[in-house]
Amino acid sequence: MSASVLPSTPLTLIDGTETTFDHFAGKAVLVVNVASKCGFTPQYAGLEALYAKYKDEGLVVLGLPCNQFMGQEPGAEADIESFCQMNYGVTFPLTVKADVRGKHQHPLYAQLTKFKSGLLPGLVKWNFEKFLVNPQGEIVDRFASTVEPESDEIVRAIEKTLAADAA
């Protein structure tokens, strides 16, 4: 089952640049709600490794910092960006902080959470949940926070998505 992400969904990058999701048109995008003070925070290293390995083939990792789960992303955007670069060498794009659920849910997550996969229906359950969007803007997979970025499951999904686009 795939669902479309609205290409015109607004995004504000962490440096304040206003854009839309179609900025990534033609790329596979792994969208992740991230946090600096979470037990899953070390996943930044795996996300950066995925980005480094597959960016030339058309993968973008997009991190959306979120402070909705036990206040685990309390810093300002400059603090978040600095933390990510200094501790994990993050070069993939980050947005400004965003709500991934609730009354002020970011429009991107309103679309992403329509995609249901196994035990992951609807709402985002915690930090570092991952959604894979193909180059046509369709949501093709969803992974729990506990699934490591460099796991066979995610790597296979990314490679399949990139191969399908290359075919």
| Look-up of token digits 């070069």 | 91
Contacts of 23 (CB under 8 A, 6+ apart): 11
Its sign, for the CA torsion 156, 160, 166, 167, is: positive
Which positions are catalytic?
A: 38
SS3 at position 112: helix
Integer Cα distance of 57 and 49 in angstroms: 14
Integer Cα distance of 106 and 60 in angstroms: 19
CB 96 within 8 A of CB 81: no
Residue 38 β-bridge partners: none
SS3 at position 64: strand
